[in-house]
Amino acid sequence: MTAEPSDGDLVVRARRGDASAMETLAHRYLRASYAVALSVLRHPADAEDASQEALLTALRSLDQCRDPARFAAWLFQSVRHRALKQITHRRVRARHADEAEHGAVVEADAERVLLRQRLLSALERLTPAQREVVLLHDLEGWTHPEIAVALEISDVMSRQHLFVARRAMRDHLANPSTEDAQHG
Amino acid sequence: MDDQRLDLSSLDRHGDPVRYRQRVSALAAAALAPAPHPFLHEFMAWGRGAVAVGAILAVVTWLPVWSSVGPSQAAASGSVDQVLQVAAWAQAGAIPSDADLLALSGVPDAR
């Protein structure tokens, strides 16, 4: 076991203005927030914006986090809310445009772009919970116990979601539908 | 159980660790930066509106008075001149003579 501080400790310290605690929280949860936002928006650039905004808002309003030990669950709820609001306000950009305008690296690798489109398309076939689990586990490298705590589900449920999600995505990637052919 | 991880790296937006660290630092700094107090913010927003309404009310109230003043406008501008003259003396540390004061008060040919 490592001696990493718990979320609860970090939240308490960050509330008192501890800059290093604030930075540790941001470092620990920026990527995961992106995964959660991506599970809702299914658009990487929008998910990046939404996750940063939600994380910043959460860090600024730590006093409203009633249970510091459950910071992850509280933050992810805020990220989902922000992402849904973004959809509601129709601020989601066109699916195939936008990389350059947000300062992202221009990808010369067309295959990578195509693969991303197919992965996003495959994600659309999953339930929101399955998307969150597969992104947190396979993209961000979280463990099932970590996912279970953050999403407030059981460890078994997390494993079940991952199993179903992977199978569905592999099926879809192996047999891309005509819809994907249109997107691609 | 399926233990084979899916390769989702093409969805990753935080692949560059240096950029990630910079982003994290910027976020933490922004979170710690003092934000305007919500009450103060609301009050200032409300205050701007109140000032605008006050200005409009003042103009509406004074418009009829202004138009009906007519001849006294000259006196009004004269009083401004008097104030400016007294201010000039005060600034220069000069003591006005009796004649100056009489002239200032409007007595013709006082000098």
* DSSP state string for B80-92: HHHHHHHHHHHHH
* CA-based nearest residue to B81, from B103, B66, B63: B103
A26 to chain B, closest Cα gap in Å: 6
Q: What does the mean pLDDT of chain A come to?
A: 87
Range of the domain at A159: 109-184
Among chain A residues, CA nearest to B5: A138
- Residue B52: band (very low, low, confident or very high) from pLDDT cuts 50, 70, 90: confident
- Residue A184: band (very low, low, confident or very high) from pLDDT cuts 50, 70, 90: very low
- Do A6 and A66 lie in one domain? The reply is yes
DSSP state of A43: -
Domain boundary among A106, A122, A156: A106
Cβ-Cβ contacts under 8 Å, A60 against chain B? 31, 35
Give the per-residue pLDDT at A182: 45
Q: In the A/B pair of chains, how many CB contacts fall below 8 A?
A: 76
Cβ-Cβ contacts under 8 Å, A30 against chain B? 14, 20, 23-24, 27
Quick count: other Cβ atoms within 10 Å of Cβ B106? Answer: 10
* A156 contacts chain B (CB < 8 A): no
Is the model more confident about B80 or about A25?
A25
**Which of A8-17, A134-143, B47-56 comes out lowest in average pLDDT?**
B47-56
Q: Given A30, A139, A162, which is nearest B8 (Cβ)?
A: A139
- Do A99 and A126 lie in one domain? The reply is no
Give the per-residue pLDDT at B88: 81
- Do A133 and A77 lie in one domain? The reply is no
What integer is the mean pLDDT of A146-165? Answer: 96
A59/B27 CB distance under 8 A: yes
pLDDT at B74 over 60: no
- Do A11 and A92 lie in one domain? The reply is yes
* B39 contacts chain A (CB < 8 A): no
- Do A176 and A143 lie in one domain? The reply is yes
Q: What does the mean pLDDT of chain B come to?
A: 76
Domain boundary among A106, A130, A154: A106
The pLDDT > 70 percentage for chain A reads: 84
- Do A1 and A89 lie in one domain? The reply is yes
pLDDT digits (tens, 9 = 90+) for A41-97: 999 999 999 999 999 999 999 999 999 999 999 999 999 999 999 887 755 555 555
Give the per-residue pLDDT at A130: 96
What integer is the mean pLDDT of B34-41? Answer: 64
Q: Which two tokens stand for residue A51?
A: 């996750």
- Do A76 and A151 lie in one domain? The reply is no
CA dihedral sign of residues A59, A65, A68, A74: negative
Burial of A122 (0-12, 13-18, 19+ CB in 10 A): buried
What integer is the mean pLDDT of A115-119? Answer: 91
Give the per-residue pLDDT at A109: 73
- Do A170 and A147 lie in one domain? The reply is yes
CA pair distance A69, A10, nearest whole angstrom: 9
* B41 contacts chain A (CB < 8 A): no
CA pair distance A114, B8, nearest whole angstrom: 13
Domain boundary among A106, A141, A161: A106
A23/B24 CB distance under 8 A: yes
Q: What is the DSSP string of A61-106?
A: TGGG-S-GGGHHHHHHHHHHHHHHHHHHTT-PPPTT--TGGGTPPP
ipTM of the complex model: 0.76
* CA-based nearest residue to A125, from A165, A66, A153, A78: A165
- Do A102 and A18 lie in one domain? The reply is yes
Give the per-residue pLDDT at A98: 52
pLDDT at A112 over 90: no
